[in-house]
């Protein structure tokens, strides 16, 4: 037993768990979306609320895709059904529309004891998985979908980490490598660090609107094969943080590449309804895979992720999501089912919400019109803000912004003067930039280094979620700050 004397005379034992004796893989985890800059933003908010004087009146958080926090309104129908499911006495309330009631009844009937308080099956509620399968079939113009291949998840993150967990094995030069895009959503790098897998970077082509080039995939894969065992290829489409929407051709090329190189495909498709740019359209990997014929559709292993958190729903707090697995080996599938059973089940309210997303009010039902109106309003506002963001940022000398074709983010390239880069302040230049922006304007963005970027380039990610008037202020402030910053360090 180790003791050390403490000032008050009470002997204090050395701690069992210290930074030096904790899990080293956890230490390697980084997650910029909620990193130091966000912590500082929260401090500033607290200081403001305590009356401290700042050069700004409020902190505007454009760091995270948190739609409702930015004023996006929930879909009325969804919330009515959730209220009915939470407190079924409301089924006798005549002010609730009949279609909301019938949805609630159906969900409750699938819950043990007719209560959302019961555990569901670990794979998710049976009827919800059937609804998800029907939704996917509709979305993919009739490509069949087996409910048995649907797993409900605690947000998409949960599914992504679970699938990565299955894939990781080997040591040293045979250690599993996972290909991820750079820039990437840092859940991927965080999960790979924690699992001790090798992160294989492939770079998106910023010059071609963040497109995915097969030659770059090949380069990245060939290099990785020198030192690890690449097993899976992760794609985010529409892109996070880069906002691009992949063409059908590109998806086909990626699938061909995965088949040729024997890579497991992981398609993060949580922004599937967030497509704004003219000429762009969402194509699911599943659909393209099946259109390529049985040589591909019978063999390529694919998992696709979706969530209640994005699109027109923005219901992040409910942690709803699903994944669909295609061509997963049956023994591995049994292991997956066993693995998810340890955590019992995804949150049932999130499952209920997922059910509503895949089975919204239909034409002729009392809530249909309102639902369509609300959905359209939200998606149109996002489209407008996507355009506005791109336009304003591109008026700033030293900022260059690709079109925000989809998702909820812009990821502009920023020119940081040499003098600022060389400033030795213990921070990466884009962190220095964003931290200064925060302190001077109250605007919270995430530095590009948190997502990965080509060496020598700098970016930030900002969401397009703030209400239009606030977004305009934000963009103006960013513009002014950038000009001032450039002057200051030139």
Footprint (CB under 8 A) of a copy of itself, residues 186-215: 186-187, 190-191, 194
User: Rounded to an integer, what distance in angstroms lies between the CA atom of residue 474 and that of residue 63?
Assistant: 12
Q: For residues 134-173, which are near a copy of itself according to CB under 8 A? A: 154-155, 157-158, 161, 165-169
In whole angstroms, how close is the CB of 458 to a copy of itself at the nearest point?
24
What are the DSSP E strand ranges found in 90-195?
150-154, 176-182
Nearest to 385 by CA among 472, 304, 302: 472
Other CB atoms within a 10 A radius of the CB of residue 53 amount to 6
Q: For residues 396-415, which are near a copy of itself according to CB under 8 A? A: none
If the CB atoms of residues 21 and 391 are measured against a copy of itself, the closer one turns out to be 21
293: left (phi over 0), alpha (psi -120 to 50) or beta: left
Q: For residues 37-66, which are near a copy of itself according to CB under 8 A? A: 42, 64, 66
If the CB atoms of residues 341 and 391 are measured against a copy of itself, the closer one turns out to be 341
Q: Cα dist. 331→146, 323, 334 in Å?
A: 17, 18, 5
If the CB atoms of residues 316 and 358 are measured against a copy of itself, the closer one turns out to be 316
Q: Is position 366 an interface residue for a copy of itself (rule: CB under 8 A)? A: no
Binding pattern for the stretch 245-274 against a copy of itself, x by CB under 8 A and - elsewhere: --------------xxxxxx----------
Nearest to 126 by CA among 355, 381, 349: 355
If the CB atoms of residues 38 and 416 are measured against a copy of itself, the closer one turns out to be 38
442: left (phi over 0), alpha (psi -120 to 50) or beta: left
User: Rounded to an integer, what distance in angstroms lies between the CA atom of residue 257 and that of residue 418?
Assistant: 40
If the CB atoms of residues 47 and 480 are measured against a copy of itself, the closer one turns out to be 47
If the CB atoms of residues 347 and 417 are measured against a copy of itself, the closer one turns out to be 347
User: Rounded to an integer, what distance in angstroms lies between the CA atom of residue 307 and that of residue 267?
Assistant: 13
Work out which of 5, 7, 19, 490 binds a copy of itself, going by CB under 8 A.
19
* Interface region with a copy of itself, contact rule CB under 8 A, candidates 34-42, 367-375, 395-403, 406-414: 34-42
Q: Which two tokens stand for residue 447?
A: 């530095």
Is residue 385 within 8 Å of 473, Cβ to Cβ?
A: no
* Interface region with a copy of itself, contact rule CB under 8 A, candidates 48-56, 339-347, 366-374, 393-401: 339-347
Q: Is position 464 an interface residue for a copy of itself (rule: CB under 8 A)? A: no
Q: For residues 67-126, which are near a copy of itself according to CB under 8 A? A: 67-72, 74, 79-80, 82-84, 86-87, 90, 93, 111-113, 115-122
Element (H, E) at 40: helix 36-49
Q: Is position 468 an interface residue for a copy of itself (rule: CB under 8 A)? A: no
If the CB atoms of residues 184 and 402 are measured against a copy of itself, the closer one turns out to be 184
Q: Cα dist. 231→199, 266, 295 in Å?
A: 11, 11, 20
* Interface region with a copy of itself, contact rule CB under 8 A, candidates 24-32, 132-140, 275-283, 456-464: 24-32
């Amino acid at each position: 037993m180790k003791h050390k004397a403490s000032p008050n005379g009470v002997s204090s034992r050395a701690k069992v768990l210290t930074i030096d004796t904790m899990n080293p893989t956890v230490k390697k985890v980084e997650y910029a979306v909620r990193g130091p800059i966000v912590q500082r933003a929260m401090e500033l908010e607290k200081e403001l609320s305590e009356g401290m004087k700042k050069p700004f009146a409020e902190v505007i958080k454009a760091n995270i895709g948190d739609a409702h926090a930015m004023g996006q309104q929930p879909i009325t129908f969804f919330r009515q059904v959730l209220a009915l499911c939470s407190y079924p006495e409301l089924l006798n309330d005549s002010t609730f529309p009949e279609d909301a009631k019938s949805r609630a009844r159906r969900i409750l009937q699938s819950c043990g004891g007719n209560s959302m308080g019961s555990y569901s099956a670990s794979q998710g509620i049976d009827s919800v998985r059937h609804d998800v399968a029907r939704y996917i079939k509709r979305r993919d113009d009739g490509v069949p979908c087996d409910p048995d291949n649907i797993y409900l998840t605690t947000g998409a993150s949960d599914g992504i980490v679970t699938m990565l967990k299955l894939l990781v094995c080997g040591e040293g030069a045979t250690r599993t490598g996972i290909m991820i895009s750079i820039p990437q959503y840092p859940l991927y790098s965080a999960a790979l660090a924690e699992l001790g897998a090798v992160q294989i970077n492939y770079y998106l082509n910023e010059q071609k609107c963040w497109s995915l080039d097969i030659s770059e995939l090949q380069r990245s894969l060939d290099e990785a094969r020198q030192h690890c065992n690449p097993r899976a290829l992760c794609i985010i489409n529409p892109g996070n943080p880069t906002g691009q929407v992949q063409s059908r051709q590109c998806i086909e090329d990626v699938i061909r590449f995965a088949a040729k190189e024997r890579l497991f495909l992981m398609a993060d498709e949580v922004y599937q309804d967030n497509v704004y740019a003219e000429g762009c359209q969402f194509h699911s990997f599943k659909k393209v895979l099946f259109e390529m014929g049985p040589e591909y559709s019978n063999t390529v292993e694919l998992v696709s992720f979706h969530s209640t958190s994005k699109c027109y729903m923005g219901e992040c707090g409910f942690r709803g999501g699903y994944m669909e697995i295609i061509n997963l080996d049956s023994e591995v599938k049994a292991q997956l089912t066993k693995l998810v059973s340890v955590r019992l089940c995804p949150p049932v309210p999130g499952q209920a919400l997922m059910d509503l997303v895949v089975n919204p009010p239909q034409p002729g039902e009392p809530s249909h019109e309102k639902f369509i109106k609300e959905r359209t309003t939200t998606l149109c506002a996002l489209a407008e803000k996507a355009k506005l963001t791109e336009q304003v940022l591109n008026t700033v000398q030293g900022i260059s912004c690709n079109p925000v074709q989809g998702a909820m983010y812009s990821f502009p390239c920023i020119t940081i003067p040499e003098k600022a880069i060389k400033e030795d302040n213990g921070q990466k230049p884009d962190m220095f930039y964003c931290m200064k922006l925060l302190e001077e304007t109250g605007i919270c963005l995430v530095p590009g280094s948190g997502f990965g970027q080509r060496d020598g380039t700098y970016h930030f990610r900002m969401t397009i979620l703030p209400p239009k008037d606030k977004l305009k202020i934000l963009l103006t402030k960013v513009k002014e700050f950038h000009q001032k910053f450039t002057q200051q360090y030139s």
